[in-house]
Amino acid sequence: MRRLKPIVATTPEELAGALGLSAVAAREWQVQHALLKRLKEITRRQEITHSEIARRAGTARTRVTAILNDDLEHVSTDLLIRILGSLGYRVRVSVVRSDAA
């Protein structure tokens, strides 16, 4: 049996490259995970149920549960922003030139 050599990715860009995806996809992951991290903090602090979050955001409870369990497949950034907005938060965006451009 052939042994596979593990690949270690230390940045989102390296992970995207290892998976055969673009650096743009890696940047999108970074944004989504930053929003998710903040959403988890808010949810924990407010002690709000997944059902209540779903009701406020106008989405399904199962979808909120999946998101809060780190499943961002088929989740758009605008949904994360809508959920945060429904909890009374505003998302600010900052655009800076990257060194890779």
Rounded distance between C-alpha atoms, residue 50 and residue 59, angstroms: 10
Q: What tokens appear for 51 in the block?
A: 């059902």
pLDDT at position 100: 62
pLDDT at position 101: 54
Domain assignment of residue 36, given as a range: 12-86
Q: Which residues of the chain have pLDDT under 50?
A: none
Residue 45: give its domain's CATH number: 1.10.260.40
pLDDT at position 66: 96
Question: Is residue 6 included in any domain, yes or no?
Answer: no
Question: Is residue 98 included in any domain, yes or no?
Answer: no
Q: How many CB atoms lie within 10 A of CB 77?
A: 13
Amino acid identity of residue 25, one-letter, is A
The packing angle between helices 23-46 and 61-68, to 10°, is: 110
Q: Is the pTM of this model over 0.85?
A: no
Question: Is residue 5 included in any domain, yes or no?
Answer: no
